[in-house]
Amino acid sequence: MKTTIVSMALATTLAVAAGTAGADSLRDQARTMFSAVPQYPPVIDGNELTEDKVELGRMLFFEPRLSASHLISCNTCHNVGMGGHDYLPTSIGHGWQKGPRNAPTVYNAVFNAAQFWDGRAADLAEQAKGPVQAGVEMSSTPERVVATLKSMPAYVRQFEAAFPGQEDPVTFDNMATAIEAFEATLITPDARFDKYLRGDNTALNEQEKEGLALFMNKGCAACHGGVNFGGQGYFPFGLVTKPGAEILPAGDKGRFAVTETASDQYVFRAAPLRNIELTAPYFHSGAVWSLEEAVAVMGTAQLGTELADDEVHSIVAFLKTLTGQIPEIRYPVLPPSTDTTPRPAPMTR
Amino acid sequence: MKTTIVSMALATTLAVAAGTAGADSLRDQARTMFSAVPQYPPVIDGNELTEDKVELGRMLFFEPRLSASHLISCNTCHNVGMGGHDYLPTSIGHGWQKGPRNAPTVYNAVFNAAQFWDGRAADLAEQAKGPVQAGVEMSSTPERVVATLKSMPAYVRQFEAAFPGQEDPVTFDNMATAIEAFEATLITPDARFDKYLRGDNTALNEQEKEGLALFMNKGCAACHGGVNFGGQGYFPFGLVTKPGAEILPAGDKGRFAVTETASDQYVFRAAPLRNIELTAPYFHSGAVWSLEEAVAVMGTAQLGTELADDEVHSIVAFLKTLTGQIPEIRYPVLPPSTDTTPRPAPMTR
């Protein structure tokens, strides 16, 4: 995967004269590298998005009783009102612990090839099981989650409706499947860039088009391509020049922890750049608040290029055209705790 | 106020034979003590509920950046998906501190005569300023809040729309006014009891009607009357018999801290009982999870009566008819943090 994408980037750099392509050829080039966010959620193999399942997933996504403390829900760190994350360098979890990495946005996450900064979860269902159990995040257990959900009759009925024909539908796996179904609906179509890609020349101004050309021709698009402008492959952070320890802390070796392969040290998933305007601070360390600074760091670290100020500004202007329409989200009505609901345990672990 | 209500309870006890009133006289009696939750928000003197102001209030209610940590919003402890509170004995706040008292529900709070368990805030606008500044809750300051809101152009525009004609509308007071406007829309009409009150005899079953009769004739309604079944007056917890320290901790003297009057020791606002089925655990200490136990404690502590088991069950059955329709709430889209937004300060104080 990695090799293929780098080769494509080289080919791109050779094929297009920097910043001088006409409007149509600019779009033609962009169409070979990117695609628009669709209007409707994608089909997920083995997880049909029925109304009952998406509704169950909505309830679970906002359900703080999936955490031991009864305080933290998926939405706490992946806040759908705040670009799908928490505007924190790294998240605050159980017992006010500091999480190890910046929370990625849930918006359009369904389009990523794998989940987490190190890609350790193959899909959103697998991802959903992680934070629920992580001691530093929600600090619960599958047994506690199932006991909690089974203690509330409205949840049992909703699981039965979402997973018809199953004898014992209230399971940890089905919880994750339902959350994935809801999260698949969290997509943001109709960004200005997508309108441009579809043929609307007025959707981007000249500076934004200049930024798009630079983004493709400088090599950014090599890693940040596809529908999500990233999220598809893994790359060493500091491919050319390692950034400082404040941005790339020595203790977090990235994908190496997953693969235990030496070449995966400090390798991370290329961040998806959709709605990047809404997802500061940047990088897995959450160390950089300014999008301008993040772009400049990428230039030196990944491309070995000192981008000029006006190039940075043009690329940032372009990146802001990737902000899509946030879907309207109804807050779910969650059932009351009952006498058999495991009590909140804010001080465990 | 207190004297008046106690006298009314005595009159009630004398006027009606316990539990034997016919269907129509039961309703007639109930109509003298309670009223239905209206279909539309009430008029608030000096705070017109314009669409722009309610929308601003919705944004602010869900805005975690009103807290120093950027983690805690009004909705964290007054969760609109969970009966308007957090299903915790006492809330978790800044730095994972434990709050001093059980979080009251935000639903129908607009109908309370004053806010907080000790009534120290005259209205919801005054209330809203408390948790934002409390070190144990959101731990922010008015200056920080205003700087935060002014750093985001979308907020400035929304304040201008909500408070037209004001030269500098982004103020801490206007924040509170807008939150009050949104919270005034958080009402739950059409409880089964309200349908009964309006004339539908089939809305309550026999046990529930028996519970209603007991609730009025044993004296519960003396403190828990009006539209909100409480929230109107202050009474000593343990009027007849003091409950144990696990329910009434010695260190929390209630309204005494507000009035510094000896007779206000261990005096608290009579809890509003609307949606009581959704607001466990009970009492200012949040020490009792079972509604049956809470009713029994009230019998001995406030009325000096050991209620029989079947009486407790009937009263609880009746109380569950006070669960109304939760309004449909759209999650707001909050603007992104900018370069000038004060950074999250999770470790301050």
Which of A55, A63, A137, A180 is the catalytic position? A137
Question: For residues B223 and B299, is the Cβ–Cβ distance under 8 A?
Answer: no
Question: What are the boundaries of each domain within chain B?
Answer: 25-39+189-321, 51-185
Q: What is the ipTM of this complex?
A: 0.89
- Per the annotation, the verdict on B137 as an active-site residue is yes
Close Cβ partners of A17 (under 8 Å, ≥ 6 residues apart): none
Q: What sections of B83-171 are H helices per DSSP?
A: 124-133, 142-150, 153-162
Close Cβ partners of A174 (under 8 Å, ≥ 6 residues apart): A159, A162, A163, A166
Picking from A87, A332, A343, the nearest residue to B65 by CB comes out as A87
In chain A, what residues touch B333 (CB-CB under 8 Å)? 81, 326
Structure tokens of B167?
Answer: 């030269």
Residues listed for chain A: 349
Q: What's the gap in Å between the CA of B344 and the closest CA on chain A?
A: 7
Please state which of the ranges A133-142, B83-92, B259-268 shows the lowest mean pLDDT: B259-268
CATH superfamily to which A51-185 belongs: Cytochrome c-like domain (1.10.760.10)
Tell me the sheet residues that pair with B269. Answer: B234
A118 pLDDT higher than 90: no
In chain A, what residues touch B328 (CB-CB under 8 Å)? 330
- Answer yes or no: do A277 and B336 touch at CB < 8 A: yes
- Count A/B contacts: CB-CB distance under 8 Å: 93
- Is A78 assigned a ligand-binding role in the annotation? yes
Higher model confidence: residue A5 or residue B33? B33
- Answer yes or no: do B71 and A64 touch at CB < 8 A: no
Separation CA B260–CA B258 (nearest Å): 6
- Answer yes or no: do B62 and A76 touch at CB < 8 A: no
**Which tens digit of pLDDT belongs to each residue from B137-185?**
999 999 999 999 999 999 999 999 999 999 999 999 999 999 999 999 9
Question: For residues B314 and B307, is the Cβ–Cβ distance under 8 A?
Answer: no
Q: Any chain A CB within 8 A of the CB of B80? A: yes
pLDDT confidence band for B22 (50 / 70 / 90): low
Q: What's the gap in Å between the CA of B332 and the closest CA on chain A?
A: 6
Question: What's the pLDDT at B257?
Answer: 87
Tell me the sheet residues that pair with A97. Answer: A93
pLDDT confidence band for A23 (50 / 70 / 90): low
Q: B25-39+189-321 in CATH: which number?
A: 1.10.760.10
Evaluate the CA torsion angle B47, B48, B53, B54 in order and state its sign: positive
- Answer yes or no: do B92 and A71 touch at CB < 8 A: yes
- Answer yes or no: do B87 and A71 touch at CB < 8 A: no
Query: CA-nearest residue of chain A to B73?
Result: A76
- Answer yes or no: do A98 and B278 touch at CB < 8 A: no
Q: Any chain A CB within 8 A of the CB of B86? A: yes
**Which tens digit of pLDDT belongs to each residue from A173-222?**
999 999 999 999 999 999 999 999 999 999 999 999 999 999 999 999 99
Structure tokens of B158?
Answer: 């929304």
Separation CA A315–CA A320 (nearest Å): 9
Evaluate the CA torsion angle A312, A317, A321, A325 in order and state its sign: positive
In chain A, what residues touch B82 (CB-CB under 8 Å)? 64, 334, 336
Which of B137, B180, B208, B210 is the catalytic position? B137
- Is B74 assigned a ligand-binding role in the annotation? yes
A128 pLDDT higher than 60: yes
A11 pLDDT higher than 50: no
Q: Any chain A CB within 8 A of the CB of B342? A: no
Tell which residue, A127, A119, A321, A116, has the closest CA to residue A229: A321
Same fold yes or no, A25-39+189-321 and A51-185: yes
The pTM score is: 0.91
**Which tens digit of pLDDT belongs to each residue from B45-91?**
999 999 999 999 999 999 999 999 999 999 999 999 999 999 999 99
pLDDT, mean of residues A222-240: 92
- Answer yes or no: do A329 and B331 touch at CB < 8 A: yes
